[in-house]
DNA sequence: TTTAATGCAAAGCGTTTGCACTGCT
DNA sequence: AGCAGTGCAAACGCTTTGCATTAAA
């Protein structure tokens, strides 16, 4: 069972996506999107920088942060922060979901929002606009589970 | 309905609490505890500093951070980090619970852990050691709710 | 040419650290 | 004297910012 199935987008797909949300598709932004929208799995800014440095002549950290903000504001990405790390994580999964930090691999795994439910009593007492959940644990493998 | 009922501890109570967990009850630590264990409501380090500056001749930020770490390690406090703020929040409620950020007041409200439950299916698939939940919303008052 | 996007370096914020100093025992 | 605890300032990690430079319409 795959955590996420993310078909690799072509450069043209990315250009279209950016245009669709009113973001000027510069070479730097396309490069960043190639990683974040496709290959990256909840990358941090520095992980993006590392990848981009190997695939793009020169691209500053400031541009990465600017671009991530632009893409987040445009609704192409979501930014997450978790208690276990000071860094921001960027997620191309735009559907509401939670996360599990796999304590063995250190990787974040997307968790379906149906996996938890909030008690009726609580919802009677509070108006909830948003909620964030992070689990710490690991996936039970078929072998040792 | 009160969010938390926290009887104000006497200085002697605090001294005893610290001794009980093997922490040397210095004047600075007692001062910090007077706020954090009693009056404070999920204070941050700088809020603790502000209070302490008004009640103690001189106490450095470093000592506040050191003391918070000592108290957290000793199990007297819990440290929480939430996505909406870069700061750490310190909580004297040692019972497992979640939080709601009241978007009107900016205050954190303790939420009973019974308020949410995790689906059996999810728990069959993952081993969960810990989970953090934060709600963003507000308490429904009896008037406008 | 005029406007947006970029790169760099500096500043920002919250926290941690190194080290000298203080004050108990 | 010895040692834990403290204070200060510097360093830290991550992110944001100001501003000069570049590139694109």
Residue B9: per-residue pLDDT: 87
Distance CA B73, CA B77 (A): 8
Residue A8: per-residue pLDDT: 82
Nearest-CA distance from B125 to chain A in Å?
6
* DSSP states of A5-32: --PPPPHHHHHHHHHHTT----HHHHHH
Q: Evaluate if the CB of A46 falls below 7 Å from strand D.
A: yes
Q: CA–C1' distance B72–C23 (Å)?
A: 25
Residue A44 confidence (pLDDT) above 90: yes
Nearest-CA distance from A54 to chain B in Å?
31
B56: helix, strand or coil: coil
Residue A144: per-residue pLDDT: 52
Do the strands B97-102 and B126-139 form a parallel or antiparallel pair, or are they unpaired? parallel
Share the mean pLDDT of chain A: 92
Name the one residue in this structure whose structure tokens are 């445009």. A74
Question: Which bin fits A75, alpha (ψ -120 to 50), beta or left (φ > 0)?
Answer: left
Q: CA–C1' distance A121–C14 (Å)?
A: 37
B129 contacts on A by Cβ (under 8 Å): 103, 136-137
Q: How many CB pairs under 8 A join A and B?
A: 98
With residue B80 as reference, give the H or E element that holds it.
strand B78-81
Q: Read off the pLDDT band of B1 (50, 70, 90).
A: very low
B141 contacts on A by Cβ (under 8 Å): none
> Please, how many CA atoms are within 13 Å of residue A47, restricted to the half-sphere of its CB?
15
Residue-wise pLDDT tens digits, A10-40 = 999 999 999 999 999 999 999 999 999 998 8
Q: Read off the pLDDT band of B83 (50, 70, 90).
A: very high
Residue-wise pLDDT tens digits, B26-52 = 999 999 999 999 988 999 999 999 999
> Nearest protein residue to D13's C1' (by CA)?
A86
Residue B106 confidence (pLDDT) above 70: yes
Q: What is the mean pLDDT of residues B104-120?
A: 95
Residue B3: per-residue pLDDT: 44
pTM of the model: 0.91
Within 8 A by CB and 6+ apart from B27, the residues are B56
Distance CA A56, CA A27 (A): 9
Q: Evaluate if the CB of B38 falls below 7 Å from strand D.
A: no
- Show the domains of chain B with their CATH numbers: 11-88 (1.10.10.10), 93-144 (3.30.1490)
Q: Evaluate if the CB of B92 falls below 7 Å from strand D.
A: no
């Amino acid at each position: 069972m795959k955590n996420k199935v993310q078909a690799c987008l072509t450069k043209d797909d990315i250009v279209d996506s950016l245009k669709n949300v009113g973001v000027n598709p510069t070479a730097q932004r396309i490069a960043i999107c190639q990683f974040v929208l496709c290959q990256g799995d909840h990358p941090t800014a520095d992980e993006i920088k590392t990848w981009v440095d190997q695939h793009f002549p020169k691209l500053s950290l400031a541009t990465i942060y600017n671009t991530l903000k632009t893409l987040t504001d445009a609704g192409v990405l979501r930014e997450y922060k978790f208690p276990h790390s000071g860094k921001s994580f960027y997620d191309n999964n735009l559907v509401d979901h939670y996360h599990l930090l796999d304590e063995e691999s250190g990787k974040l795994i997307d968790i379906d929002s149906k996996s938890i439910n909030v008690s009726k009593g609580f919802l009677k007492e509070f108006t909830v606009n948003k909620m964030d959940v992070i689990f710490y644990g690991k996936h039970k493998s078929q072998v040792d589970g």
